[in-house]
Amino acid sequence: MKEKKFAVCYNKNIENSSKAKDALVSFLQKNSVFPEITDIDNLKSGVDFVFVIGGDGTILKAARFYSKTSTPVFGINLGRLGFLSQSSKENLEYAAGEILKGNYTVEDRIMLQSENFTALNDFVVKGGTRGRTSSFELKINGKFVCNYLADGIIISTPTGSTAYGLSAGGPVLYPSLDAFVIVPICPHTLTARPIVIPDTETITICTPKNSEKYVVSTDGQAFYEFENEIEIKKSNSSAKLALLKDCGFYSVLKDKLHWGISPLN
């Protein structure tokens, strides 16, 4: 049987990331695993499993990159929320030990595609004039759906439904659902509500004629401009997230979003 090749990816711009990386590498080496070490700005393929140390942004970038080779990534959180991560630096050795024992599952997470850009969380479309509402025309499979006058539109995957889309009033979707969410940001019409659609649909957002260029953000990390219209659909690649077997989605909602917990008196 081929020996599994591990990598440790860290974000050197995050405080204590190097210390967590050193601690993880030391633990792995004590268990006869000698990983390749890389940072988030110099990702390399050719491995079978990747430990990613950082916040959700670090994990998003790594997951998109390694989706090309169907390589599982396991997040160790050093950020604020760490919704995509399965471990904190405090239980790093326990989590790594479970991974080495094979006590984990790998979930396929659908991604979005627009031109040469992919997103695991979301695409966010906004007008080119900051501080002003913009006009958007929404089409699905080439058919007109509605016009929005809003600050922007979020096109989200189930993975991203707990991110910007949730803050903008969208629903939480179970990660394995084959669906997308379209969420208008601060719409000027009370009947403009989020829509959940199958992930087989093609979404087109059109801009008014003679308008300024609109801006699209990819997972809040890459930005590009477009004129006239943008087409968004399901990516042919999927992200592979490694999850500990004793950590389910509902417990993550409760522990990290404090779901359904009443405020203290």
Task: Tell me the pLDDT tens digit for each residue of 117-161.
Answer: 999 999 999 987 666 789 999 999 999 999 999 999 999 999 999
Contacts (Cβ under 8 Å, ≥6 apart) of 26 = none
How high is the pLDDT of residue 132? 75
* Mean of the per-residue pLDDT values of the chain: 90
Band of residue 227 on the pLDDT scale cut at 50, 70, 90? confident
- Mind listing the pLDDT tens digit for each residue in 167-178? 999 999 999 999
Largest CA distance in the chain: 63
Tell me which long-range contacts 132-135 makes (C-beta under 8 A, separation of at least 24): 133/186, 133/188, 134/207, 134/211, 134/214, 135/207, 135/208, 135/211
Whether the Cβ atoms of residue 151 and residue 186 lie closer than 8 Å to each other: yes
Query: Six-digit token pair at 252?
Result: 């993550």
Per residue in 77-120, pLDDT (tens digit) is 886 666 787 787 788 999 999 999 999 999 999 999 999 999 99
Q: How many residues does the chain have?
A: 265
Question: Which H or E run includes 28?
Answer: helix 17-30
Q: Domain 6-102 is in which class?
A: alpha beta
Domain residue limits, the chain: 6-102, 113-235
Examine the residue annotation and report whether 56 is marked as an active-site residue of this protein: yes
Question: Which one from 56, 122, 151, 219 is the annotated catalytic residue?
Answer: 56
Residue type, 110: I
DSSP letter for each residue of 31-96: TT---EEEETTS-----SEEEEEE-HHHHHHHHHHHHTTT--EEEEE-SSS-TT-SEEGGGHHHHH
Residue 130 CA to residue 127 CA, distance in Å, equals 7
> In terms of CATH architecture, what is 113-235?
Sandwich (2.60)
Same fold, 6-102 and 113-235: no
Q: Which residue has the higher pLDDT, 237 or 253?
A: 237
pLDDT digits (tens, 9 = 90+) for 1-19: 568 999 999 999 888 899 9
User: Which tokens sit at 136?
Assistant: 């958007």
